[in-house]
Amino acid sequence: MKLVVLGLSLGSSWGNGHATTFRALLRAYAERGHDILFLEREVPWYAGAHRDLTDPDFCRLAYYRSLAALDDWHAEIAAADAVIVGSYVPDGVAVARFVQAHAQGVTAFYDIDTPVTLAKLARGEHEYLSPAVIPGFDVYLSFTGGPTLTRIEQRYGAPRARALYCSVDADAYRPLGGETRWDLTYLGTYSDDRQPTLERLLIEPARRRPDLRFAVAGPQYPDTIDWPANVERIEHLPPAEHAAFYSASRLTLNVTRADMIAAGWSPSVRLFEAGACGTPILSDRWDGIETLFAPGEAILLADTTDDALAALAIDAGPIGQAAREQVLAGHTARHRAEELERHLQEASQDKGRRTMGMATTDQEAPLTLVAGGAGFIGSHLCAALLARGEHVVCLDNLQTARASNLRALEAHPRFEFVRADVVDPLPASILHRAARFTRVYNLACAASPPQYQEDPEHTMLTCVLGTDHLLRLAEQAGARFLLTSTSEVYGDPEIHPQREDYRGFVNCTGPRACYDEGKRAAEAMTFDFARTGRADVRVARIFNTYGPHMHPDDGRVVSNLICQALSGRPITIYGDGTQTRSFCYVSDLVDGLMRLMESEIDGMEPINLGNPNEMPVNDLLDRIVGLTGAEAPVEYRPLPVDDPRRRRPDIARAAALLGWAPKVSLDEGLAATCAWFATELAEGEALACAAE
């Protein structure tokens, strides 16, 4: 395998733990027969005397001076079987985009700082990683495991997140025998958040047991600390002397940083190094430690000074032996290299399945394509189609999708996901079996104004080129095609309610035009395909729809108000709140879309789908406040440009042709939506807390 790694540093271990991690991992990886190129940004603080590895014998090490200079390596990146970008790489977001644009093989992000990274993302700081680039990595490898991995997948859309912990060099760390010099030791740099635990589990026990000997090795401890006389201080202990230090300790203490405790499943390298030396470990307690060392058998856990004193009172020798066995069985660099190889291979197979079209679906069954199927409405549509027995292929570029929408669907045996952008020609995995498609739903398009205005050109192209590509597929397959158009084709309407024969009042020069005019063009093209006999088409004009699976922060009125109400933030109303909207619950809308697709009507007429129950936005707010008990103040902001004042569908045509009418009342729908958002926000807060 050809592997390219873009990491913070391999050449200098000065002031960073990354170089040691990469050196151990990549040496072991090279021993497995792989060819490795490490690309390191040339920065002054790791240059000169601070460079302590110039010519590694296990990989090629090259430096690039600037982002622009990275371009010299694009051929190597493109040819690699896998490319890894590490945390804290300078200009990491741009590097990630460069890698994702050029790499043909698997791409991975290796987070050696997961709790710090997540805390930064929660604060909106994108120093080396941003939410936008996470879904573009095939696998997110993390120093933290456990539930954080699920959160990285669900909240940030990583296709897969896997633990790849730190490890130990078992040749350097082994029992050295010799005299036991201390009863309890601690090896670690001073940190404010670890100090209270050190005080409780080592310093206070030292005061109470003046007959025992203690040692604390590591720099930066303030002079103000009142060390008992029986605590030896060692300011600097070079790595080469760590094994001797542990070997001379009857018991050694592991103290974990607060953010790692909060996240759980975050072993520090100290645990593996001390364990490899056969030194019994007394550790603070955090979730997931039991998955590494069996408490009471291979590790002792302590909360209080009394716990530490109790540990000092026993012969913990067998516990040290058991810890060493567990480290040698699973936590050496060799183990990590094997895990890395496995994660990259799995991601590669998964990528093959996702993009090369190795269908998970039955080889003969007719297929339904849902473009945009990972989004809000699309995910409900896919679920309803699966429930009806269809084989569903969801094509989505994940631009505005929620990863958890997809995750719930991916477990289904008749569901297949293909990641692609409809602006590009459709992937071979779709075109190779075009004949099997009998239905093509086109929902692919960001629907919330902030999202579709973020890249207006892409929105317009999605509507026009995307619809063209999907119509051509329908033509080739002889499939029926359904376009999800929008009430926005009516613009800021002059007639009320809006009937399908109303031609609209749209501003073609304003910021909403990319969407409104894009959808109008998509309709025009769809009807042209029908008019010229190239495809059997249906066009739904969807009015405001709401429900579970909406993006919490996509700026749509229902999700905005509910999320603000639930989180206690000030509630924003754009305009004075007297503008009206009609809100349709998503299950009603999906029912309407499926009826329309299956109806044998003349497809040359668009059909409104929405709930005619019109109300001022202020009324909607009152209901949400009633449901959530929110007490936050309401802030009124200016109405966005071209925001329609009134909106209500005339659904007489849908009723007559499809026998369709919405069934879910606003109160029922809002209650279900609030309950869903409450669960989502609770999970999000848990993540934010875990990350801080």
Q: What is the contact surface with ligand NAD in residues (CB under 6 A)?
A: 372, 374-378, 396-401, 421-423, 443-447, 462, 466, 484, 486, 542, 544-545
Q: Smallest gap, in angstroms, from Cβ of residue 135 to ligand NAD?
A: 9
Q: Smallest gap, in angstroms, from Cβ of residue 478 to ligand NAD?
A: 23
Q: Smallest gap, in angstroms, from Cβ of residue 121 to ligand NAD?
A: 20
Token pair 């997140």 in the structure block, residue: 161
Neighbours of 19 (CB within 10 A): 22
CB burial of residue 124 (10 Å; 0-12, 13-18, 19+): exposed
Please tell me the distance from the alpha carbon of residue 228 to that of residue 446, in angstroms, as a whole number: 64
Please tell me the distance from the alpha carbon of residue 69 to that of residue 485, in angstroms, as a whole number: 45
- CA angle, residues 552, 556, 562, in degrees to nearest 5: 55
Q: Smallest gap, in angstroms, from Cβ of residue 395 to ligand NAD?
A: 6
User: For the stretch 66-80, what's the b/e string if a residue is b when 16 or more beta carbons lie within 10 angstroms of its beta carbon?
Assistant: eeeebeebeebbeeb
Q: Which is nearer to ligand NAD, 166 or 395 (CB)?
A: 395
Q: Smallest gap, in angstroms, from Cβ of residue 101 to ligand NAD?
A: 16
441, 452, 515, 546: the catalytic one is 515
Please tell me the distance from the alpha carbon of residue 530 to that of residue 517, in angstroms, as a whole number: 20
Q: Smallest gap, in angstroms, from Cβ of residue 663 to ligand NAD?
A: 18
32 Cβ contact list (under 8 Å, min separation 6):
337, 338, 341
Q: Which is nearer to ligand NAD, 396 or 680 (CB)?
A: 396
Please tell me the distance from the alpha carbon of residue 134 to that of residue 403, in angstroms, as a whole number: 11
Q: Which is nearer to ligand NAD, 421 or 517 (CB)?
A: 421
Identify whether 140 is a catalytic site residue: no
Q: Smallest gap, in angstroms, from Cβ of residue 463 to ligand NAD?
A: 8
Q: Smallest gap, in angstroms, from Cβ of residue 632 to ligand NAD?
A: 25
Q: Which is nearer to ligand NAD, 320 or 378 (CB)?
A: 378
Q: Which is nearer to ligand NAD, 261 or 514 (CB)?
A: 514
Token pair 């929105």 in the structure block, residue: 459
Q: Which helix (H) or strand (E) holds 472?
A: helix 467-477
Q: Which is nearer to ligand NAD, 12 or 611 (CB)?
A: 611
Nearest to 156 by CA among 690, 686, 684, 685: 684
255 Cβ contact list (under 8 Å, min separation 6):
186, 188, 194, 197, 198, 201, 283, 284
Residue closest to ligand NAD (Cβ): 375
Residue 455 DSSP one-character state: S
Identify whether the C-beta of residue 692 lies closer than 8 Å to the C-beta of residue 126: no
Please tell me the distance from the alpha carbon of residue 445 to that of residue 461, in angstroms, as a whole number: 10
Please tell me the distance from the alpha carbon of residue 456 to that of residue 463, in angstroms, as a whole number: 11
Identify whether the C-beta of residue 11 lies closer than 8 Å to the C-beta of residue 53: yes
Nearest to 336 by CA among 169, 106, 140, 88: 169
Q: Which is nearer to ligand NAD, 168 or 464 (CB)?
A: 464
Q: Which is nearer to ligand NAD, 114 or 397 (CB)?
A: 397
How do 82-86 and 106-111 pair as beta strands?
A: parallel
For the record, the structure tokens of 359 come out as 């269908």
* Residues annotated catalytic, as ranges: 515
